[in-house]
Amino acid sequence: MSDVANEPVDLARVAADDALLSAVARGTATPGDDDVTAMLLAWRADLDEGADDVSRNAALVTAALADGAAVPRRPRRRIGLAAAVVAAAALATGVLVGSDHAGPGDPLWPVTRVVHPQRSEVRAAEHAISQAHVATAGGDQEQARRLLDQAQQHIARIEDPAVADRLIGEVTTLLQTLTDPLPLPPIAVPGLTGQPTAGPTGAPPPPGPGKGGAPSAKPTPGDATPGSPPPGGGLLPLPLPTELPPLPTPLLPDLPLPPVLPG
């Protein structure tokens, strides 16, 4: 069908074309009066623009190596498992795996999402929480705190708000049982802990004019904090609006402990 397919092979032509393609790929070809050579050079240059950007290489390598020797045969199944294993190892040794640190908006975030799918984030968080329970039972509060901090980092990457809320609730509950005088971290905002969203402080009054809405448009400070109040007298938690709590992500990317120290 092709007009040239059945022509006899011109070996000199074949060799010249081979050399031409190699030269174009190396960028050493000169267009001459051959339109196709000029087009090939322009095409290659167009494809080349920024192609050697290596800024994301380190993330890829870290991600691939962290993925473990757990084999690429059935990636879908095993990635989650491998990530959980890696996370467990990180928890045991206190070493954090590099690619775990990427957050939304970070250049590494797409990679992290590929390598550490949601399911393994949930598993890693759950694992950290259960280990924290064990540490608490053993009296090692420092370790428990560290584990909970790691759990929060995993939770911060969970996209399903319902799952994230449940896990945050578990973390918060456990944090409250720790007797360390440090104030609770930012996520332990009243309203998140157990009671659902009908927060006493910031809930805006229902806008419906005719409905007999609850008349409690004013904040009632009496039952503001279900847990124990922070030790510093002037450091009552800020009345954050209740729409905020489900997404603690931006609050705790790299903070192992809350910034406020006891007075």
Partner 1 sequence: MTSAIPPELVSRAVRRDPAATAALLTALRPGLVRYCRARLGPVSGAYATADDVAQEVCLAVLRALPGYRDQGLPFTAFAYRIAANKVADAQRAAVRAATATPPDALPDQPDGTPGPEQQALSADLARRLSALLARLPDTQRDIVVLRVAAGLSADEVAAIVGMTAAAVRVAQSRALARLRTLAGQSLPEVAA
Binding to partner 1, residues 52-111 (CB under 8 A): 52, 54, 56-58, 60-61, 63-65, 67, 69, 71-73, 75, 110-111
Q: Which of 25, 198, 236, 255 binds partner 1 (CB under 8 A)?
A: 25
Q: Would you tell me how many other CB atoms lie within 10 Å of the CB of residue 97? A: 17
The answer to the question of residue 211 lying near partner 1 (CB under 8 A) is no
| First CA to last CA distance, the chain | 87
Applying CB under 8 A, which part among 24-32, 129-137, 161-169, 245-253 lies near partner 1? Answer: 24-32
Residue written as token pair 């991600």 = 63
Measure the CA–CA gap between 121 and 30, rounded to whole angstroms: 53
- The residue type at 50: G
**Least separation in angstroms between CB 11 and partner 1:** 9
- The yes or no reply on residue 44 touching partner 1 (CB under 8 A) is yes
Minimum Å gap between C-beta 69 and partner 1 is: 6
Note the helical H segments in 27-140.
Answer: 35-48, 57-66, 75-93, 109-115, 118-137
Question: Which residues make Cβ contacts (< 8 Å) with residue 225, sequence separation at least 6?
Answer: 190, 236, 237
Q: Helix or strand or coil: residue 134? A: helix
Q: Does the footprint of partner 1 cover residue 20 (CB under 8 A)?
A: yes
Number of residues that bind partner 1 (CB under 8 A): 53
Binding positions for partner 1, rule: CB under 8 A: 2-5, 9-10, 13-15, 17-18, 20-22, 24-27, 34-36, 38-48, 51-52, 54, 56-58, 60-61, 63-65, 67, 69, 71-73, 75, 110-111, 114-115
